[in-house]
Amino acid sequence: MKRFSVVALAVVLAFACGLFLTPFLRQAGKKPLPNVDGLAQVLKTTADEKLSSPALTNEQIALHSPSAEMETRTKEVIDAAIQSGGTAFKTTGAGGSAIVLAKIPGQNVEAFRAMVKKESAASGAPVREGEAHLIEITISPQ
C-alpha cells in the first residue's frame, strides 16, 4: 500500500509539473512575428511612384477648347471617327473636360489624327481593314 501511494504521488507530481511547464514550452517554440506593416507601406508607396497603371488605349490626344464650344468640338471629334471608318463615344471627365474614346481602323489612324487636330490630310474612302487603334481624346476647357 505504501508503494501504491508513492507511485500515485509520483504520477500526481508528474501531472502537476506537466501542467506547470506546458505554457512555458509553448511560448519557447513560438517566435515573435516581425512587424511588416511598415514594410508593406513602403512597398505600396514605392509601387505607386514607380509603376504606372497600364493604358487601356493605344494613344492619348489632349485638346483644348473654349467652354462655350466644348460640345461642338466633341461632336467634331466623334464625326471624325465616323468619317475615318471607326466608332466613338463621349464621357465626362474631371474638371469639366470631355473624354472621347475612339476605335479607328489601323489604316485610317493618320487621317483621324489630322481631322481631330484640324490639319490637312489626304482624303479618300475610309478603309475598314486591319487592326483597330483605341484612342482617347481629352477635350479640356480653356
Q: What is the pLDDT of residue 36?
A: 75
Q: What is the pLDDT of residue 100?
A: 92
CA distance 140 to 67: 8
Q: What is the pLDDT of residue 78?
A: 93
User: Which one is predicted more confidently, 123 or 25?
Assistant: 25
Give the H/E segment covering residue 62: strand 59-65
pTM across the whole model: 0.56
Range with lowest mean pLDDT among 5-14, 23-32, 33-42: 23-32
| Structural contact between residues 92 and 99, judged by C-beta atoms closer than 8 angstroms | yes
pLDDT surpassing 50 at residue 128: no
45-87 pLDDT per residue, tens: 887 777 765 666 678 888 888 988 889 999 999 999 999 999 9
